[in-house]
Amino acid sequence: MKRKITLKDIARELDVSISTVSKALKNSEEISRDTKEKVQAFAKLYNYRPNNIAISLKNKRTKNIGVIIPDIVHHFFTTVFRGIEKFANARGYNVIVCISDESFDKEVINMEMLANGSIDGFIMALSAGTQLKNDYNHLREVTDQGIPLVLFDRVTDEIACDKVVINDTEAAYMAVEKMIKDGRKRIALVTTEGHFNVSVKRAEGYYKALKDHKLPVDEDLVLTLPNTYDNEGISKAFFEKIDIDGVLCVNEIYAVRSIRHLQDQGKKVPEDVAVIGFTDGILSKLANPSLTSVAQHGERMGEMAAQLLIERIEAENPYEKDPVYRTEVIKASIVERESTNN
């Protein structure tokens, strides 16, 4: 087994000092041609690589980014993560991921674990538990320490930091408006319980579109699903007792399930009922009929978040008193497929 070699090892073998080796490997002008060649050859032969940890300790820079997301099995978070990883990697950063599992406690524990030197900054989307509890002290502690933080998607006004969001309200508005322009009059909304700010914003867009187009708001057409796995019965019952010609769903899972419920009732999509979902993922593409969907451009969101974070990390003066924080808005777009008229 070839153990990892250190500067000290090289110095001992070549009978020079550690600092000479260090300088020689950096091609310093101070060192003679001869010594440099000797050291570099030796280093190459034994495949010397500086120890990241030692460098981190010295520089107080880890080149690691901490990402805390509620869930990785959800397509949206996966794509955002992809964007983060891509951008970060290209800039020489590694990504440490923790899943909060929608739990406040796990979010706190994970943040504390990483905040003690393991990372240079955080990118995160708030867990459901945190939003419910409305407690952001763990975030504040991190920012107070001068650790850069970027929030995306599930953000809060309570914390001053860089943010990346999508124009949820507008996107929902556009989606509903599209259906209205296609002649739909009774449009339902399938959403989740309200502590997710994104759901709230999307609902806002839904209501606003109806009002702007002088359509009545009927609360019977709004289904708020609990955040559990087995809520399929609820949505099935919902669709059985309402009469609609359009649905907006806040994610693609609900949308695909809605299509199924409608088809089971003998209704045709899109002829009888149009369906639009959020999250333009694989489900949307492969559904039958394929799903018209609001693309959230998760990957771009992730890249943007990583960019904001790295800029902040590498800023000349990271500890200025009143930094100007940015909130970038990623514009959602509607991808038209078979579940609506086109």
With CB under 5 to 8 Å by kind, the binding choice for 31 among DNA, its own copies, none is DNA
With CB under 5 to 8 Å by kind, the binding choice for 319 among DNA, its own copies, none is its own copies
In the block, tokens 């969101």 appear at 301
With CB under 5 to 8 Å by kind, the binding choice for 228 among DNA, its own copies, none is none
Could you tell me the smallest distance in angstroms from the CB atom of residue 9 to its own copies?
Answer: 14
Per-residue contact flags (x/-) with DNA for residues 17 to 36, judged by CB under 7 A: xxxx-xx-xx--xxxxxxx-
Instruction: Answer for the pair 110, 102: CB distance below 8 angstroms, yes or no.
Output: no
Strands 292-295, 333-335: pairing is: antiparallel
Binding flag, residue 2, DNA (CB under 7 A):
no
With CB under 5 to 8 Å by kind, the binding choice for 34 among DNA, its own copies, none is DNA
In the block, tokens 């500067």 appear at 7
Give the separation between CA 9 and CA 127, rounded to whole angstroms. 48
253-285 burial: b if 16+ Cβ within 10 Å, else e: bbbbbbbbbbeeeebebbeebbbbbbbbbebbe
Could you tell me the smallest distance in angstroms from the CB atom of residue 216 to its own copies?
Answer: 32
With CB under 5 to 8 Å by kind, the binding choice for 86 among DNA, its own copies, none is its own copies
Could you tell me the smallest distance in angstroms from the CB atom of residue 36 to DNA?
Answer: 7
Closest CB to DNA among 93 and 239? Answer: 93
Helix 7-14, helix 18-25: angle, nearest 10: 110
Q: Can you give the binding site for its own copies, defined by CB under 8 A? A: 1-4, 47, 49-54, 56-57, 62, 64, 72-73, 75, 78-79, 81-82, 85-86, 89, 94-99, 110, 112-118, 141, 144-146, 253, 256-257, 259-260, 263, 282-283, 286-288, 319
Give the separation between CA 183 and CA 136, rounded to whole angstroms. 44
With CB under 5 to 8 Å by kind, the binding choice for 16 among its own copies, DNA, none is DNA
Backbone angles phi, psi at 122, to 5 degrees: -115, 145
With CB under 5 to 8 Å by kind, the binding choice for 110 among DNA, its own copies, none is its own copies
Cα dihedral 293, 126, 170, 206 sign = positive
54 C-beta neighbours (distance < 10 Å), count = 11
207-242 burial: b if 16+ Cβ within 10 Å, else e: bbbbeeeeeeeeeebbbebeeeeeeeeebeebbeee
Instruction: Answer for the pair 201, 237: CB distance below 8 angstroms, yes or no.
Output: no
Q: Which stretch binds DNA (CB under 7 A): 50-58, 66-74, 216-224, 255-263?
A: 50-58
Q: Which of 41, 44, 57, 220 binds DNA (CB under 7 A)?
A: 57
Q: Which stretch binds DNA (CB under 7 A): 1-9, 118-126, 189-197, 314-322?
A: 1-9
Binding flag, residue 12, DNA (CB under 7 A):
no
The site for DNA (CB under 7 A) is made up of 6-8, 15-20, 22-23, 25-26, 29-35, 49-51, 54-55, 57-58, 60
